[in-house]
A and B are shown apart, each in its own frame.
Chain A
């Protein structure tokens, strides 16, 4: 059973549009969430991490976290074709072990 669930599995947004990706952990012990982006044929690169309730913004990327529901979301505004990639959510509980979801494949349509 996958402990980190991501939705949707795939997403298509027009260039300039808003992409919203979701992630939920079923492990009540997690306290840290990460979002990684993986372009085709490349290794994942960390986008943002969050451990406090609320919102964190970096440029066009905004991450929300609701610790009560163990749900995090990533929002990409003004989406660009270069944002097309596999977006991976990962969660950990105090230690160094990250559990990854299966990802959301984002395609930004120019």
Chain B
């Protein structure tokens, strides 16, 4: 079956420091990977969408300078939260799309970020 492994599951960082999270697609080829942040109020925000052979598209209020993303192949993607502050806390989710079943977005287990 198709799975997305995301790690770390939880991380705590000091204000002003950075942390990196990674996603690994298993059992399918992830032609696109979307990174979301779910706030404590449960709202989902799309941070950016990365599609193989295309430029990474960042949503309004999110920038490459703050959330650099790497998507080097069809099974791996990573995102870094640079210079994290309190407003960056939340659950970060990667969602990968299967090229064969384009309608299905598989989510990783999420990385919960706490900023002290």
Contacts and interface: CB of A to CB of B under 8 A. Distances in A.
Contacts of A51: 103
Interface stretch (B12-20, B70-78, B82-90, B104-112): B104-112
Interface of A: 32, 34, 36, 42-46, 49, 51, 86, 88, 90, 95-100, 102-103
Contact of A45 (B32, B36, B107): B107
A86 B46 CA distance: 18
B110 A43 contact: yes
Contacts of B108: 43
B109 A96 contact: no
7 contacts: A43-B93, A49-B104, A51-B103, A95-B49, A98-B34, A99-B46, A102-B43
Those 6 A-B pairs whose CB atoms lie nearest each other, nearest first: A100-B44, A96-B32, A43-B110, A43-B107, A43-B109, A49-B103
A98 B46 contact: yes
Contacts of B109: 42-43
B107 A97 contact: no
Interface string B11-39: 00000000000000000000010101000
Contacts of B95: 98
A97 B93 CA distance: 14
A49 B72 CA distance: 29
